[in-house]
């Protein structure tokens, strides 16, 4: 008679998965932390339309902000996931950049979980 497999054995037999530390297979010993953001922007010319930025204004951090571009001196950032849009004049954006308030999220990374 053939030995019957437990549910876990049956599910994992084709994947050769080692026993994990939790039900989702997450093992904290096998993780690595890579910062998803680049260096702080130093000039307005470094802003690229269509790229994602983390914007810090007066201590408030806004993540998942996509730069749409500039129209008539107004820089527009659209938020993802129901975030409010943000607009800056040329003077305002220069001030925030001077304070280190803009960081680009690097390609292939996301602040989402």
Q: What is the pTM of this model?
A: 0.63
41-61 per-position pLDDT tens digit: 999 999 999 999 999 999 899
pLDDT, greater one: 29 or 46:
46
In sequence order, the 6+-apart residues with CB closer than 8 A to the CB of 17 are 25
pLDDT given for residue 30 in this prediction = 67
Q: Which CATH class is domain 37-105?
A: mainly beta
Mark residue 21 as left, alpha or beta (left: phi above 0; alpha: psi -120 to 50; beta: remaining).
Answer: alpha
* Number of residues that this document lists for the chain: 113
Flag whether pLDDT at 70 surpasses 90: yes
- The rounded distance, in Å, linking the Cα atoms of 46 and 98 is 13
Q: 105 by DSSP, 3-state: which?
A: strand
Mean pLDDT, to the nearest integer, of 16-31? Answer: 60
Flag whether pLDDT at 77 surpasses 90: yes
82-111 per-position pLDDT tens digit: 668 899 999 999 999 999 999 999 875 444
């Amino acid at each position: 008679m053939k030995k019957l497999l437990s549910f876990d054995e049956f599910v994992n037999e084709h994947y050769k998965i080692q026993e994990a530390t939790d039900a989702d297979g997450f093992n904290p010993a096998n993780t690595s932390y890579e910062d998803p953001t680049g260096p702080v922007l130093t000039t307005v010319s470094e802003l690229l339309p269509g790229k994602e930025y983390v914007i810090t204004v007066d201590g408030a951090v806004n993540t998942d902000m996509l730069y749409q571009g500039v129209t008539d001196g107004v820089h527009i950032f659209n938020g993802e996931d129901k975030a409010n849009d943000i607009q800056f004049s040329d003077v305002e954006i220069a001030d925030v950049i001077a304070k280190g308030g803009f960081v680009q999220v690097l390609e292939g990374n996301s602040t989402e979980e």
